[in-house]
Amino acid sequence: MLAEQATALVNMEQLEKVYPNGTIAVRGVDLEAGAGEFICFVGPSGCGKSTIFKMIAGLEQPTGGQLEIFGNSPHEARKQNEIAFVFQEHTLLPWSTVEANVMLPLALRKVPKPERREAAHRALRLVGLSDYVKALPRELSGGMKMRVSIARALVSRPKLLLMDEPFGALDEITRQTLQQELLNIWRQEEGMTVLFITHNVFEAVYLSTRVVVMTPRPGKVSAVVDIPVPFPRDDTFRTSPEFGHYVGLVSQALKH
Ligand SMILES: Nc1ncnc2c1ncn2[C@@H]1O[C@H](COP(=O)(O)OP(=O)(O)OP(=O)(O)O)[C@@H](O)[C@H]1O
């Protein structure tokens, strides 16, 4: 789905975050994200990408401007289980099985056990880990642990999935495999919006319907690059002149 077909899910207007120590992390950010979009955020270290995500997730409060998720506050959206977060570190409980880790968000909400299990098995099927329900995290590779984290985020069927450099610690082959799997999942979970932070311009172009380029501190949106290339995308896109064209556009925007 392309940007212009979507309806607003996240709306930021003149969003600002000044931390108590006086650091202006984000100032004057305007951005609308539609339902079903896949938007990557790129920008230099410290430009406020994670801060924006934390505000969307309700973990940090904006100090200025507006931030709405489906017309609600982030706090309200979080209560409705509309938002899920995946970090670079997998954050799995080491003593719990894959299944228990994935069921955790539902257990915390006291969802009945059979429902929890069914939802967890569905999410694990989506990430290709149906054979590992009883495994412990230490028995899994880095890529598999990340898949479990993604399954745990998907188990609540969120409308908005926030991913903060999820593949940053993985080798290139695993990273490309997971990019492909993530796109497949996103297309299956119709209407789910993904916001994804990366330092990798190639990854941003491959995944996105739009790439948001940010300036150094205080973070602002300096450019938004549409990637109007239809899905499904595969390795032929990665090696196409079109891909090089969009990588060039984003790289140029990063330098300004
Ligand atoms: N809790 C905090 N208190 C004070 N300053 C903070 C806090 N969290 C982040 N910052 C500062 O806010 C700015 C933006 O940080 P943020 O982590 O959002 O950037 P980022 O773009 O995600 O960086 P990176 O790409 O390195 O992860 C940085 O200067 C950082 O030092």
Kindly give the number of the ligand 1 atom that is closest to the alpha carbon of 52: 18
Q: Is 45 in the pocket of ligand 1 (CB under 6 A)?
A: yes
Q: How far apart are CA 13 and CA 16, in angstroms?
A: 9
Once rounded to an integer, what is the mean pLDDT over residues 32-44? Answer: 95
Which of 8-17, 72-81, 113-122, 222-231 shows the lowest mean pLDDT across its residues? 72-81
pLDDT for the residue numbered 24: 94
Which amino acid, residue 85? F
CA 2 / ligand 1 centre spacing (Å): 30
CA 126 / ligand 1 centre spacing (Å): 33
Which helix H or strand E contains 202, and what residues bound it?
A: helix 201-207
Q: Is 51 in the pocket of ligand 1 (CB under 6 A)?
A: yes
Place of tokens 């959206």: 77
Protein residue with its CA nearest to atom 11 in ligand 1: 25
Q: How far apart are CA 179 and CA 39, in angstroms?
A: 13
Q: How far apart are CA 59 and CA 18, in angstroms?
A: 14
Q: How far apart are CA 140 and CA 161, in angstroms?
A: 23
pLDDT for the residue numbered 3: 43
CA 43 / ligand 1 centre spacing (Å): 12
What the block records as the tokens of 102 is: 């994935």
Does the domain at 3-82+158-255 match CATH 3.40.50.11780? Answer given as: no
Which of 14-18, 168-172, 221-225, 228-232 shows the lowest mean pLDDT across its residues? 168-172
Protein residue with its CA nearest to atom 7 in ligand 1: 19
Instruction: Decide if pLDDT at 4 tops 70.
Output: no
Once rounded to an integer, what is the mean pLDDT over residues 139-149? Answer: 95
Say what the pTM is. Answer: 0.94
Phi-psi category of 99—alpha, beta or left, where left has phi over 0 and alpha has psi -120 to 50?
A: alpha
| Residue 165 CA neighbour count, 13 Å, CB half | 13
pLDDT, mean over the chain: 93
Residue ranges, comma separated, of all CATH 3.40.50.300 domains in the chain are: 3-82+158-255
Closest alpha carbon to 155 in 178, 117, 123: 123
Pocket test for ligand 1, best of 51, 54, 222 (most atoms within 8 A of CB): 51
Once rounded to an integer, what is the mean pLDDT over residues 41-64? Answer: 95
Instruction: Decide if pLDDT at 77 tops 70.
Output: yes
Which amino acid, residue 156? S
CA 84 / ligand 1 centre spacing (Å): 20
State pLDDT tens for residues 168-225: 988 999 999 999 999 999 999 989 999 999 999 999 999 999 999 999 878 899 999 9
5 contacts 190 by C-beta, under 8 angstroms: no
CA 205 / ligand 1 centre spacing (Å): 24
Instruction: Decide if pLDDT at 61 tops 90.
Output: yes
Q: Is 47 in the pocket of ligand 1 (CB under 6 A)?
A: yes
CA 74 / ligand 1 centre spacing (Å): 20
CB atoms within 10 A of CB 159: 21
Q: How far apart are CA 246 and CA 156, in angstroms?
A: 34
- What does R_g of the chain's alpha carbons equal in angstroms? 18
Protein residue with its CA nearest to atom 8 in ligand 1: 51
Instruction: Decide if pLDDT at 79 tops 90.
Output: no
Asked casually if ipTM beats, i.e. exceeds, 0.90, the reply is yes
pLDDT for the residue numbered 7: 57
